Amino acid sequence: MWHMVRIGLVRAGAVMALGVAAHSAEIPDTNDALQEIVVTAEKRSSTVLETPISMSALSGEELVAKGLLSVEDLAGAVPGISMRTAGPGQTEYEMRGLSSAGGSTATVGFYLDEVPLSASAVGQNGRTVIDPELFDLSHVEVLRGPQGTLYGAGSMGGTIKLVTNAPQPGAFDAAAYLSSSDTKHGSVNGAGSGMLNLPMGEIAALRLVATERYVSGWIDRIVIAPGKFPAPTNPAPATSPYGACLNYYCTRGDVEDAPVQTDVKGSNLERFSSARAAFLVKPTDGLSITTTLMYQRIDADGYNNDQSPPGGLAIYQPYNLPEPYYDSFKLASLVLDYDFGLATLTSATSYWRRFVYQSTDSTEALQNIFNTTDFIENLYVEEDPTTQVSQELRLVSNAQGAFQWVAGLYAADLHSGYVTFNQTPTYANAMTCTPSGPTAGSCGPGGVLVNVNNGGAAANPNGIIFNDNNLNVMKQSAIFGEASYKFTQFLKLTAGLRFFRFDVHQISNSCGVGTQTGNASCVDAAVAGSGTNVLPKLNLAYTPDEDLTVYGTVSKGSRPGGVNIPIPLPTTPQLEANPSAYNCGLPLANRLNPSLPIPPGLVYVTSQPSYFAPDSVVSYEVGEKSRFAERRISFNADLFYVKWTNIQQALAVTCGYLLNEDVGNGRSYGPEAELSATVAPGLNVDLSAAYTNAEVTEPKPHTGVTAGTLIDNVPKYTGTAALNYERVVAEGYKARFRLAASMVGPMDDVAYYRETLPSHTFLDGRAGITRGKWVISLFGTNLTNRIAPLTINNTTFAWQQPTITRVTLPQPRTIGVDANVAF
């Protein structure tokens, strides 16, 4: 659609959203009072200040005007939210210190209008969610803390809710957005979005929204000349301390000194397309029916990460193996609202299908794992098909008196698959040294060459390393209710309860060297689990006037139990000759303490699926929301304490996969604060900050995790600051300026080794001219060109080993121009 228009900004101003002040920071023409956004966090309309929970809201106008193109862009602008990402469509979100890196579902609920968008339950790429376009949204709501009563299991850390603009009968409307930019170490980017609202008389309307986006890559993919790729060095000692390099050669060869055959520039190029159609029929004032169809597709030539060592915005390969990524999403929903007078009935029915294809070059990893005498070309492919059908039926009272209530039923049926293809015919004749010997070349003294496959090439003629087909089904059902009562004009008590049940089962078929057969033979297995939970909530709010709310909340959140996919267990003759050297049951999560001895009683992994139990949290929160100085200043703050029981966390094990385990109990606590102030005519300041202390306090002994271990992917602190200035420069023309900075503190992440990622700060800017309904802006993101690690190894979904860490990086400095117009 927009082939001639190229656009950019994967991270288009992550902090420009500093609408974190939970109120719109746009400065009105008439006065300097801050404006509010109407939200539906409690399943009824209210303002942010009237809603007694910790939340932030950003209007659709803010999102577009400040260049926020994706949900990922919001992470640097909203306090208490963090992410684990490898690029568009590959992001997990965390709030309140509750990591989504492991477990059955994400810890943060994700909604598009009334549709819950659960993440894949078994995919090795994690609990990622789709990355929808933010053009033509009414607003975004970020609800912090457990939202289980109204939003269900999986919202135990919080909920992100995208609310689209509804079709408008009786009025034609249209809008467009165009952008072009250039990225350092990349090239030209471009994007275009458009919206049409087509009325059909006074009772119906069709709203169409479409987006095309092109982001040039900035990662080099360097292919070394044939036969010249350097072998790894520094073999692991026969007896290694717990947390050290085990079973492998520990140091990567000097790839920077090797001769280059090909240098592929922009190997992480991304193309994004989306379309959404909503049809509204409103035959009477009390009845509305909305049907929504949506399609979205992301195509990427590679991941937004490099390799460490050596770093330098590049990955190095023995063969020319692109690592394509593909993510398609289709949705259909039907929402019916009927006003009975006493209450409004809402029926929300949805179906969606997501298909993710991703790949990773496993050539180096497999050479090191099997100690083969050569590098054998290998691309590991994963496919994750996911479908969900959900139905919610609820009644919301319409009375404006002291007593209000919500009651409903919910059911969902989630089918997710994990299908891998790890097969190379050359592996049928792959040779390794046993019991030990140098890698890639010849066996040392005493070494004997043997075939990698158990039974030799004849037992595995197609070279199947690990082909795995898993089908996971999770069904949930719930009944929920919430009621509030105003004891006085100023004091309101809200109580809620949700009862839910889940059933999960999985069947798997695994074949190849990575099974206990050690050849092309297959292994079938199945596992199932079920459970129930009750999620209560109690909230007390004091609102002495319309500019102050003080509240306290106690609430519970939970996730269902889940299953682990089969873990590959290579059984080559080399390992059979020295089985003590290959311990796939040893978790490698505690490598910050490599001097610790190997703990006894470790759980040994088997090539069978396994079930892990639900986890839950109890949250305590006090907070306030206030406006003063004639509403030119708003200040929202809260203090929370969360107790996390039976933490579902991903642990790395020595055979290169991730294992979901109950690692014990933990807690997180901290303050969060947001300030927005008009300090002079036309000049507005936005500030936000959050500190989160999240750690395991009572670890399970068999996991290798120790007390005080920080919970993964949770930065200790985040902070944002922005200056917004607007003034009239000529009759009908205004100039707008914005400078914003966001800081993310250090956090722990796990690849083969556990690492603490350093803090980083991004600086963005925007300057524009506006008249009426159009605005043209010059923008810059990551102005200081800060290339900081965001996360590590979340794209190496198989065969992790110590010589390489894949590091996800932000988009380098990007400068461009964009235009918005409404008709």
The per-residue pLDDT for range 620-637, each reduced to its tens digit, is 999 999 999 999 999 999
Task: Specify the pLDDT at position 557.
Answer: 94
Q: Is the pLDDT of residue 100 over 70?
A: yes
Give the residue-averaged pLDDT of 48-77: 80
Predicted TM-score (pTM) of the model is 0.90
Q: Is residue 447 part of a domain?
A: yes
Tell me the pLDDT tens digit for each residue of 730-762.
Answer: 999 999 999 999 999 999 988 888 889 999 999
Tell me the pLDDT tens digit for each residue of 244-254.
Answer: 676 788 899 99
Q: Scanning the structure block, which residue is given the tokens 């492991």? A: 102
Rounded CA gap, 753 and 764, in Å? 33
Question: Which of the residue ranges 98-102, 588-592, 813-817 would you say has the lowest mean pLDDT?
Answer: 588-592
Rounded CA gap, 237 and 823, in Å? 70
Task: Specify the pLDDT at position 450.
Answer: 82
Task: Specify the pLDDT at position 78.
Answer: 75
Task: Specify the pLDDT at position 698.
Answer: 95
Q: Which domain holds residue 283?
A: 14-822
For residue 471, the domain's CATH number is: 2.40.170.20
CA nearest 548: which of 65, 47, 99?
Answer: 47
Give the residue-averaged pLDDT of 322-331: 95
Tell me the pLDDT tens digit for each residue of 200-245.
Answer: 999 999 999 999 999 999 999 999 999 999 999 988 775 555 556 7
Structure tokens at 175: 């809008």
Tell me the pLDDT tens digit for each residue of 601-616.
Answer: 444 455 667 788 899 9
Q: Is the pLDDT of residue 180 over 60?
A: yes
Question: What amino acid occupies position 343?
Answer: A
Work out the mean pLDDT of the chain and round it to a whole number: 85
Q: Is the pLDDT of residue 124 over 90?
A: no
The pLDDT confidence band at residue 256, using thresholds 50, 70 and 90, is: very high
Q: Give the count of domains, the chain.
A: 1
Q: Are strands 693-699 and 664-680 parallel, antiparallel or unpaired?
A: antiparallel
Question: Which of the residue ranges 61-65, 316-320, 654-658, 730-734 would you say has the lowest mean pLDDT?
Answer: 654-658
- Most trustworthy range by pLDDT among 60-74, 563-577, 681-695: 681-695
Q: Is residue 2 part of a domain?
A: no
Phi, psi of 701, deg, nearest 5: -65, -30
3-class SS at 703? helix
Q: Which residue has the higher pLDDT, 654 or 170?
A: 170
Task: Specify the pLDDT at position 488.
Answer: 94
Q: How many CB atoms lie within 10 A of CB 630?
A: 11
Question: Which of the residue ranges 131-135, 346-350, 352-356, 380-384 would you say has the lowest mean pLDDT?
Answer: 131-135
Q: Is residue 9 part of a domain?
A: no
Q: Is the pLDDT of residue 16 over 50?
A: no
Q: Is residue 178 part of a domain?
A: yes
Q: Is residue 4 part of a domain?
A: no
Q: Is the pLDDT of residue 581 over 50?
A: no
User: How many Å is the maximal CA-CA distance in the chain?
Assistant: 88
Question: Which of the residue ranges 54-63, 260-269, 386-395, 471-480 would you say has the lowest mean pLDDT?
Answer: 54-63
Give the residue-averaged pLDDT of 496-511: 93
Q: Is residue 7 part of a domain?
A: no
Alpha helices (H) in 481-558, listed in sequence order:
none
Q: Is residue 732 part of a domain?
A: yes
Q: Is the pLDDT of residue 1 over 50?
A: no
Task: Specify the pLDDT at position 442.
Answer: 56
Rounded CA gap, 9 and 790, in Å? 17
CB proximity list for 463: less than 8 A, separation 6 or greater: 423, 424, 425, 426, 427, 428, 430
Q: Is residue 798 part of a domain?
A: yes
Rounded CA gap, 715 and 81, in Å? 9
Q: Is the pLDDT of residue 540 over 90?
A: yes
Task: Specify the pLDDT at position 30.
Answer: 39
DSSP assignment letter at 753: S
In order of 120, 145, 172, 280, 343, the CA distances from 202 in angstroms are 41, 41, 11, 11, 25
